Amino acid sequence: MSYEISFISILEVIITLIIALFIGVLIPGIERKYVQARIQQRIGPPVTSSGLWASIKFLYKENIEPNSPAPGLYKAMPILCFIVVLAIFLAVMPYNYQFMAFSSLIAIVGFLKVEEIAYVLMGSLSKSVMSVNLRFPDHAKGSIRQGLLVSSIEDISSSRSLRMIIFGSFPLYLALFIPAVLSKSIYLSDIVAYQQAHGPFLFTLAGLIGAVIFFIGYMIILNEYPFSIIKAKSDVIEGPYMELASKYRSFVYVTRGFLIFTLGLVFCVLFLGVPPVLVSWKFILCVIVSLILPVIMAAISAFSPIFTNKQLYPTVLTSSAIGVLAMVIALF
């Protein structure tokens, strides 16, 4: 089945985008209210408050200038992230499959890498008041060390983001390429066509393992507990986002929800062979899958403490090894 670009198709993409944004901002609320709060036997916040109303509310808040060497660049990062997620969203839309380079796994990996690098930049560009105040020596006990290099907690966050780029997101990228190995093509159009002819990859052994690995990578790239080391409340607090206020914080919320939804669409395309076509059952399936993934993620995060290196390294290494195994299985 071919999808041609026309006025109708452009309109469909725009409507799909609006629906994606709307569902995206509702996802944090669904996670908090209907998953985590239920697990914790409490009422929880209103479903619209965590994502939707928070995003709208922050639009009207007064901005606080970040303590950054390049405040403009720092504030531009959430917008860059949004553009990147938008690009991934457009890449999975079937009408764009004719732009082969754009609708390929290489492009999706590249876009995700830009999003990850944005965290490194944000962390290194922010030096919030949380780690610079009250620089006094302890006269009562006598300060044990003085005159050291003082690092901000965002610096830690930045170095952790870099570490996540190097190895943390490895499972996701391995999982992305398992459908490519199965279909012998990196282009989304070929991957979808192959699955429409031979059935979804999810029901093959390699595809099933790949889907599990994709999910682990999905949690890692979304910085969700237990993998949220770049914004751990016990040390770096909000990490790279710390000094983003007002409309910039609003962008962060919208982008996060949008990314959750978009990665759900990527999963549908790669493992179910179902592209998001608005006026069909396929779109409903895509929405359901895009909601199931964050619901499972929220349930897992409700039962997990945050990982430190001691837990993170073995988890990532094991997931990557299983991902490689799935790829080997896919080759045969």
Partner 1 sequence: MEEKKAKKQEIIETEIQMGTVHPAALEPYRVRFFVEDEIIKDAEITIGVNHRGIERIMEGLPVEKANMLTEKICGICSNSHTWNSVRTAEKGLGVEIPDRALYIRVIVGELERLHSHLLYLGHGCETLAHETFSMRVFYIRETIMDLLGMIGGNRVQYGCSIIGGVRPRCELDDNRIRRILDGMDTVEKNVADFADRFIKDSIVASRISGTGYIPQEQALKLAVSGPTLRATGVKRDLRTDMFEYDNFDYEVITQDTCDVKAQLLMRVLEIFESIKIIRQAIRDLPEGKITDRSWEMVDTGIIESYIEVPRGTLYHSYAIEDGRVRHSIVRTPSMTNIGAMQYACIDNHITDGQLCIVQCDPCFTCSDRAIEVYDTNNNKLDKSILQSNIH
Q: How far is the CB of 137 from partner 1 (least distance, A)?
A: 7
C-beta closer to partner 1: residue 178 or 232:
232
Identify which range of 51-59, 111-119, 148-156, 182-190 contacts partner 1 by CB under 8 A: 148-156
C-beta closer to partner 1: residue 215 or 261:
215
Instruction: Extract long-range pairs of 309-315: CB within 8 Å, 24+ residues apart.
Output: 311/226, 312/168, 312/227, 312/229, 315/216, 315/227
Distance CA 31, CA 113 (A): 26
Q: How far is the CB of 144 from partner 1 (least distance, A)?
A: 5
Distance CA 16, CA 118 (A): 26
Grouping H, G, I as helix, E, B as strand and the rest as coil, residue 187 is strand
Distance CA 282, CA 55 (A): 29
Cis peptide before 71 (omega within 30 of 0): no
**Token pair for 310:** 């001691």
Torsions phi, psi for 307 (to 5 deg): -85, 145
> Of 289-318, which residues contact partner 1 (CB under 8 A)?
302-311
Radius of gyration for the alpha carbons in the chain, expressed in angstroms and rounded:
21
Quick one: 42 exposed, middle or buried, by C-beta within 10 A (0-12, 13-18, 19+)?
exposed
Q: Give yes or no for residue 148 binding partner 1 (CB under 8 A).
A: yes
- Report the residue from 234, 279, 281, 332 that binds partner 1 according to the rule CB under 8 A: 234
x/- letters, 153..182, toward partner 1 (CB under 8 A): x--x--x-----------------------
> Of 29-88, which residues contact partner 1 (CB under 8 A)?
36, 39-42
- Report the residue from 58, 173, 225, 248 that binds partner 1 according to the rule CB under 8 A: 225
**What string of DSSP letters covers 264-281?**
HHHHIIIII-----TTSH
Q: Give yes or no for residue 278 binding partner 1 (CB under 8 A).
A: no
Q: Give yes or no for residue 197 binding partner 1 (CB under 8 A).
A: no
- Report the residue from 60, 133, 279, 281 that binds partner 1 according to the rule CB under 8 A: 133
Q: How far is the CB of 308 from partner 1 (least distance, A)?
A: 5
Q: Give yes or no for residue 17 binding partner 1 (CB under 8 A).
A: no
Q: What is the distance in angstroms between the CA of the first residue and the CA of the last residue of the chain?
A: 28
Q: How far is the CB of 231 from partner 1 (least distance, A)?
A: 11
Residue of 1, 3, 327 whose CA lies nearest to 193? 1
- Report the residue from 147, 197, 281, 332 that binds partner 1 according to the rule CB under 8 A: 147
Grouping H, G, I as helix, E, B as strand and the rest as coil, residue 228 is coil
Q: How far is the CB of 169 from partner 1 (least distance, A)?
A: 19
Interface residue list for partner 1 (CB under 8 A): 36, 39-42, 130-141, 143-145, 147-153, 156, 159, 225-226, 228-229, 232-235, 237, 302-311
